[in-house]
A and B are shown apart, each in its own frame.
Chain A
């Protein structure tokens, strides 16, 4: 039987859109994952041109016990009038991994998110039996939802309430423009690697 990779228990795979409007929600999710003492993993973390994208996603899914799948952007594209199916596809891979995988893969736990309550029933009714949470496109609600889910995954470790993380995120967010300016980073372009390193360093300097 394959052995669980290092940090498997604490790895959180984030399957979400990478558009500009989504960045504040993504930043909030990454922040609360690190502050709750887990590690975020995402398809943006490596840019190996030789690795096929779906292989990269499957590798990440196999390396993470926990996953967040956000289906809030399954909308028709303005130009092509076609929906985006990457997120539901990755959710399907993860559900299959949990169902048909062996050993540690059976212990996988998923958080499925959407923008509004029960909207998913109109486009992916097969997951109706699952518990799907809504973040209302609000970063602070995202923090609370992710925190509540992580509190069940912490293995007995005490995790502070959603307000605690929301306040810390607000504090971090307010200093972001100064931090980006100090590091000479382009604030208009989100870089996952830079952002996670900044979050980790900020949390090291601001222990809870």
Chain B
């Protein structure tokens, strides 16, 4: 019992340290394997300027307008008309 008690904090410390180093090495590895496409995606996701409208709303409207345009182009009923 006494053995367990004394060993536990050390194990915890060690596991925490291992987790930290794992995370750090994973981060390092992932950053070196980032493709140009992923970099572009990240850059676009990061707003340069604050907007009065939240990003999620802009995305929602962009998707809706896109869907409408696609529906118009293909002459098929849009998502609203299907409902």
Binding site for B on A (CB under 8 A): 10, 34, 37, 39-41, 45-46, 157, 175, 178-179, 182-183, 185, 191-194, 196-198, 200-207
Listed residue (A41, A196, A201) with the most chain B CB atoms within 10 angstroms of its CB? A201
Find out whether the CB atom of B58 lies under 8 angstroms from the CB atom of A197.
yes
What are 8 of the A-B contact pairs (CB < 8 Å)? A39-B48, A183-B58, A192-B49, A196-B51, A197-B49, A198-B62, A201-B44, A201-B58
Instruction: Find out whether the CB atom of A179 lies under 8 angstroms from the CB atom of B62.
Output: yes
- Give chain B interface residues in 24-64, CB to chain A under 8 Å: 36-37, 39-41, 43-45, 47-53, 55, 57-59, 61-64
Contact A182 B61 (CB under 8 A): yes
Q: Is the CB of B58 within 8 A of A203?
A: no
- Closest chain B residue to A34 by CB distance? B44
- A201 touching B55, Cβ below 8 Å: yes
One of A45, A182, A206 near B48 (C-beta < 8 A): A45
Report the separation of the CA atoms of residues A191 and B53 in the bound assembly, to the nearest whole angstrom: 11
Additional A-B contact list (12), CB under 8 Å, known A191-B52, A201-B55: A34-B44, A37-B39, A37-B40, A39-B43, A178-B65, A178-B69, A183-B58, A192-B49, A194-B53, A196-B48, A197-B51, A201-B59
Q: Is the interface of A mostly helix, strand, loop or mixed?
A: helix
Contacting pair A197 B36 (CB below 8 A):
no
Which residues of B does A touch, CB under 8 Å? 36-37, 39-41, 43-45, 47-53, 55, 57-59, 61-66, 68-69
Q: Indicate if the CB atoms of A200 and B44 lie closer than 8 Å.
A: yes
CA distance A90 to B61 in the complex (A): 37
Contact B51 A193 (CB under 8 A): yes
Q: Give A203 to B64 CA distance when docked, in angstroms.
A: 15
Contact: A194 with B52, CB < 8 Å? yes
Q: What residues of B have a CB within 8 angstroms of the CB of A40 in the complex?
A: 48
Alpha-carbon separation in the docked complex, A34 to B43 (Å): 9
Contacts of A193 in B (CB 8 A): 49-52
Q: Which residues of A contact B65 (CB under 8 A)?
A: 175, 178-179, 182
Closest 4 CB pairs between A and B?
A: A182-B61, A197-B51, A193-B49, A45-B49
Chain B residues whose C-beta falls within 8 Å of the C-beta of A175 in the assembled complex:
65-66, 69
Report the minimum CB–CB distance from B12 to chain A (whole Å): 36
CB-CB under 8 A from B59, the residues of chain A are 201, 204-205
A180 to B, closest residue via Cβ: B61
A202 to B59, CA, bound (A): 8
Chain B residue numbers with a CB within 8 Å of A200 are: 44-45, 47-48
A183: chain B residues within 8 A (beta carbon):
53, 57-58, 61
In the complex with contacts A182-B65, A197-B51, A203-B44 CB distance below 8 A: yes
Residues in B neighbouring A182, C-beta threshold 8 A = 61, 64-65
